[in-house]
């Protein structure tokens, strides 16, 4: 995984956490769900990149 991908995934994860927190604070279930989705997508991409990296070695 290159630096750009790591940064992009970290940014998406952070944005997801922020959305989830704001949604929780404002009782906005849709925003909370979007935040959890963003975090899940970032984690899935990271796992996929880790698998690719393992096969490259």
Q: What helix, strand, coil percent values describe the chain, rounded to 5?
A: 90, 0, 10
> Can you give the pTM of this predicted structure?
0.84
Structure tokens at 26: 């404002």
pLDDT of residue 53: 82
Q: How many residues does the chain have?
A: 57
pLDDT, tens digit, 9 for 90 and up, residues 27-41? 999 999 999 999 999
């Amino acid at each position: 995984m290159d630096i750009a991908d790591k940064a992009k995934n970290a940014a998406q994860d952070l944005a997801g956490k922020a959305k989830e927190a704001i949604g929780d604070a404002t009782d906005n279930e849709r925003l909370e769900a979007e935040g959890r989705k963003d975090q899940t997508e970032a984690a899935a991409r990271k796992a996929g990149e880790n698998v690719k990296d393992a096969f490259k070695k």
